[in-house]
Amino acid sequence: MKKIFLIASMISISSFAGAAAHWDYSEVAKWGDLAEDFKTCKIGQNQSPIDIKTSSVEKASLSPIKTSYNAASGEVVNNGHTIQINLKDAGTASVPSGSFSLVQFHFHTPSEEKINGANYAMVAHLVHKNDAGNLAVIAVLLKEGKENAALKDVFANMPETEGSKALPAAFDVTKILPANLGYYAFTGSLTTPPCSESVAWQVLKTPVELSKGQIASFQKIFKMNARSVQPLNGRKVQEAN
């Protein structure tokens, strides 16, 4: 009897610690209830994304963002939630909370961040990590306009179903940044489960263009993959030039 109980509890522990719970964008409000380790999605007080109201941002003399990215090899992954470009030794970015290595970037449609209540067509989230494991994200808002030449290789290699494709050439993320790196800064979270907090967010103020066809090619795979905006709960958004 004891033996059976032991085996049963081992099975339940291993299934709990195994594959993460399934989640999707049709039930964003329920993420926090899907698994114990997703509960920050529900009870976190510093969640992302947010609506940035430009009339209430705080002008701050924060240090400018400095990037030192380089051409890097990578793969374009469809992970079931987005298209993510994993890069190897892609360089670093300095933001007010320190220097971080670029790990990957991925897209959402529409942009998760709102500016004065309005979304952009898409956003690219450039995810960085430091040696202590802390995360910093630089968000590049993407609006419909002329074709984005820098993203051509990425958009030509997006797997339509879960899987990955190698990028045909080294990719330099500098090329998808706007010339002006002025930004809004705040402390937030991952915008997907487990919604972990203490993420340093920098949303660039200047959007970058991509074509209607490029937006459509992403939306053919992911029609909508944006979490709704979350309450500020007293957080201040700072603006830096």
Binding piece for Zn ion, criterion CB under 5 A, among 28-36, 56-64, 92-100, 123-131 = 123-131
Smaller CB distance to Zn ion: residue 198 or 241?
198
Which residue among the candidates 81, 106, 108, 128 is catalytic per the annotation?
A: 81
The answer to whether 227 contacts Zn ion (rule: CB under 5 A) is no
Smaller CB distance to Zn ion: residue 170 or 221?
221
Q: Least CB distance from residue 55 to Zn ion, whole Å? A: 26
Contact between residue 102 and residue 92 where contact means Cβ atoms under 8 Å apart: yes
Smaller CB distance to Zn ion: residue 125 or 128?
125
Strands in the chain per DSSP E: 51-52, 58-59, 66-69, 74-78, 83-87, 91-95, 98-108, 114-115, 122-129, 135-144, 163-166, 183-189, 197-204, 208-210, 238-240
Identify which of 126, 127, 64, 129 has the alpha carbon closest to the alpha carbon of residue 96. 64
Q: In the annotation, is 125 catalytic?
A: no
Identify which of 62, 159, 181, 173 has the alpha carbon closest to the alpha carbon of residue 128. 173
Of positions 114, 125, 205, 227, contacts Zn ion by CB under 5 A: 125
Binding piece for Zn ion, criterion CB under 5 A, among 18-26, 119-127, 144-152, 168-176 = 119-127
Binding piece for Zn ion, criterion CB under 5 A, among 67-75, 124-132, 157-165, 204-212 = 124-132
Q: Least CB distance from residue 108 to Zn ion, whole Å? A: 5
For residue 32, give Cα distances in angstroms to 29, 38, 232: 7, 5, 18
Smaller CB distance to Zn ion: residue 122 or 232?
122
Alpha-carbon span 183 to 37, nearest angstrom: 31
Catalytic residue numbers read 81
Residues in contact with Zn ion by the rule CB under 5 A: 125
